[in-house]
Structure 1
C-alpha cells in the first residue's frame, strides 16, 4: 500500500475539518488508500494478461452475447462511483473468447478512472482486437453517484451508452437482433 496515498487521504480529512487522530478515523487514510488502489487496479493489467491465451478455434459464426456483466467504476470528474452492467456481443470469425475473459475485460477498463462513453468504447475495441470478430456490440447501463448524490440529485436516472462495430454497425438486422436479445429493443 502506498504511504504517499495514505498521507494524501490524511490531508483530505484535515481539509474537510476532521481530526484524523480521533478513534474512528485513525486507520481511515490507510483503508481509503487500499480501497482506491483496489478500485483502480485496472491500470496494472494488460489485455494480453487478462485474456491469457483463452481464444479457442470454433466454426461458430453466430452471435455470442454475455449479458448483465456487473461493473463498478469511478467517475474521473468527481471520483464518485458509477455502478451498472455491460452487455457484450461479438460475431466470431474462427475463434471464440473464453467466457470469463469477456467479464475480465469489462473489469479491467471499469477499474480505472473513467467516463462511461470511453469505457464502452474501450470494451468494444478490446473485444474486436482480441477476437478479430465480424462485429462487436457493447451496451453499458449505469447509475452515476455524481448525478445522484450531488449536483442535480436525480435518483432514478440511468445512462445508457453503446458502441457498435463491424456487422453491428453496418446491419440494422444484426443490431436489432442484439438489442432484442438483451431486452433493449421494443
Structure 2
C-alpha cells in the first residue's frame, strides 16, 4: 500500500508542475505516503480494540467530564487539516470507562477523513454504546485549514459542534451544568 500511495504522491508532484527528481523532493512521495497513513490510522482500529475491556464497576452516577482533548483530523472535502479540542461527558449507570479510552475514542475517529459534524456524532454514539450511560455530551471546537488557507481565508473562525444524548438532551439543567463546566456557558 505504501508503494502505491507513494507513486500517487509522485504523480501529484508532477501534476502541480514540480520535478519529483529534484533533490529536495526525491523522498517526498515516500514521506507523504507515510504521513498520510499515519494521519488516517483510525481506519485500522475498532471501538472494541480501543476500549479493550476498560469498563469498571462504579456507584458513581454523577457527570464525568474529560475536556480539552486535542484532536487532529483531515477534512474529507479538501484533505486539509482541522485542529481543535473535544469535550466529552457522560453520566454513568453502574460502569465507568477508563480515562484514556475517551481520548483514544476521539483519536480513532479523528484519524479518518472526516467532517466535524460527523466526528462529534461518532464520538457521542460510541461513548453511549460502550457505557450505556444515562446521557452523553460531546462538544468539539476546531479551526479548519480549508477555511484558513484557501477559499474565504478566515483566520480566526472556529467551528463548534455538539451532540447531546439522553439526559443531556432531555434536561436543560444537565446540559447547562456541562456547558458551564467546560466554560461554554455564562
TM-score (norm 2): 1.00
Shift of 1:21: 0.3
Report what 1:109 is aligned to.
109
How many residues end up aligned between the 2 structures? 186
Cα distance in 2 between the residues matched to 1:23 and 1:158: 38
Three-state SS of the structure 2 residue aligned to 1:71 is: strand
Report what 2:56 is aligned to.
56
Three-state SS of the structure 2 residue aligned to 1:61 is: coil
Report what 1:98 is aligned to.
98
- Mapped pair 1:128 → 2:133: no
The CA deviation string for residues 35-87 of structure 1, in whole angstroms up to 9 with x for no partner, is: 00000000000000000000000000000000000000000000000000000
TM-score (norm 1): 1.00
Shift of 1:2: 1.2
Note the residue ranges of structure 1 that are not aligned, 5 or more in a row.
none
Cα distance in 1 between the residues matched to 2:77 and 2:41: 18
Report what 1:153 is aligned to.
153
Three-state SS of the structure 1 residue aligned to 2:85 is: strand
The CA deviation string for residues 123-180 of structure 1, in whole angstroms up to 9 with x for no partner, is: 0000000000000000000000000000000000000000000000000000000000
Cα distance in 1 between the residues matched to 2:101 and 2:21: 44
Three-state SS of the structure 1 residue aligned to 2:163 is: strand
- Mapped pair 1:172 → 2:149: no
Note the residue ranges of structure 2 that are not aligned, 5 or more in a row.
none
